[in-house]
Amino acid sequence: MITDSLKIGTRGSKLALWQAEWVKTALQKRNPSLIIELEIIKTKGDKILDVPLAGVGGKGLFVKEIEDSLLNGRVDLAVHSMKDMPADIPEGLCIGMVPERETPGDVLISIKGNAFSDLKPGAVIGTSSLRRAAQLLHARPDIVIHPLRGNLDTRLRKLDSGDEGLDAIVLAAAGVKRLGLSERITEYLNHSVMLPAVGQGALCIEIRKDDPKVQNIIAPLDNHETKTAVFGERALLNRLEGSCQVPIAAFGKIEKDLFTLEGLVAEVDGKKVIRDSLSGPKHTAEKIGIDLAERLLSKGADKILKNLKSV
Q: Answer yes or no: are the C-beta atoms of 107 and 186 closer than 8 Å.
A: yes
Q: Answer yes or no: are the C-beta atoms of 95 and 206 closer than 8 Å.
A: yes
Q: What angle do CA 173, 87, 269 make, to 5 degrees?
A: 60
Task: Count the Cβ atoms, other than its own, within 10 Å of residue 122.
Answer: 9
What angle do helix axes 14-30 and 152-161 make, rounded to 10 degrees? 140
Looking at the annotation, which residues are catalytic? Answer: 84
Q: Give the contacts of 115 (CB within 8 A, at least 6 positions apart).
A: 108, 186, 187
Q: Give the contacts of 219 (CB within 8 A, at least 6 positions apart).
A: 97
Task: Count the Cβ atoms, other than its own, within 10 Å of residue 143.
Answer: 21
Alpha-carbon span 250 to 289, nearest angstrom: 9
Work out whether strand 93-97 and strand 203-208 pair parallel, antiparallel, or are unpaired.
Answer: antiparallel
